[in-house]
Amino acid sequence: MRIFIFGAGSLGSALGGVLADRNEVVLIGRREHVRAVQRNGLKILGDLNRTVHLEAYESLRGLDPPQLLVITTKAYDTRASIRSLRGSVHDETMVLTLQNGLGNLEQLRVWKAEKAFGGTTTMGAALVGPGTVRLSGLGRTIVGSDLDPRGARRIVSAFSSSGLHATSRKDVLDEIWTKAIVNASMNPVAAVLRVPNGRLIGSPVVSRLMKEICGECLLVAGASGVKLTSERLNRRIAAVCRDTAENRGSMLQDVERGRKTEIEQINGEFSARGNVVDVPTPLNDALVSIIRSLANATASEKG
């Protein structure tokens, strides 16, 4: 399958490098990273430890359209990404979001209708430097089949042929909300405390805080028609903390570097949706304000 990875940073590049084993893959990313891949190939450290030679560009202009477009940009770039992609794909191109947060699939379906697929992945990846990523686990990828089961099967087949553990699910929104709740409960707490993920479950006080954030998000989910259980979510949060114990989360890294964070698309979405369904979200509201302040303060120091 001809696959474009749009927003090829850490996750997108690692995913593209794996998919290139059995598919025609093109990375679309930032200039420095793209040029390094063009010169020396994509170096994948960790689980695979190999160099993959594949095409990489800064945009889709002038390229033949893909059969599948995978979007792995930051969630705050979704709207701008759609604007830049219009005219670069054909009507039958399938678009799959593997982004963080809530709201990405809704935006894509306004554009691509049933050819927009929601998805989640637990693949672990970090960008070491231009042209180099570290893969810390292939994880599990789920593709939504609610509107186009045949298309979902094609995507799963392309992923599975390259050795990825991929499945399709009709109720993919449950998976998207689950991942968003896990992120909302962990990422901003780690960013505020400036600690790697494993430290979050080492403190009873912090563990309790994450459970309370999770509970608040679950109330919003339930009132929005998404039924999830607290026992399952709290187990998932603890498991992610253990499995990524040494990782410094993306939100923490963004705060430390004075970059824009995904707080609005994660906790901010729970606040906004809670307001719509009349569910108070004081913890999410507070985390949004704190992360905004931290990011702004770091940016001012570096500026």
Nearest to 217 by CA among 190, 179, 249, 244: 179
Q: What angle do CA 76, 258, 36 make, to 5 degrees?
A: 75
**Per the structure block, which two tokens stand in for 66?**
């893909």
Place of tokens 């339930």: 222
CA neighbours closer than 13 Å in the CB half-sphere of residue 13: 31
179 in active site: yes
Check: CB of residue 99 under 8 Å from CB of residue 117: no
CA distance 122 to 87: 31
Cα–Cα distance, 71 to 99 (Å, whole number): 7
Residue 200 contacts residue 241 (beta carbons within 8 Å): yes
What CA–CA distance (Å, rounded) separates 74 from 39? 26
Catalytic residue among 74, 112, 115, 179: 179
Q: Give residue 264's region: left, alpha or beta (phi > 0; psi -120 to 50).
A: alpha
CA dist 260 → 62, 76, 297 (Å) = 30, 9, 12
Q: Which residues are catalytic?
A: 179
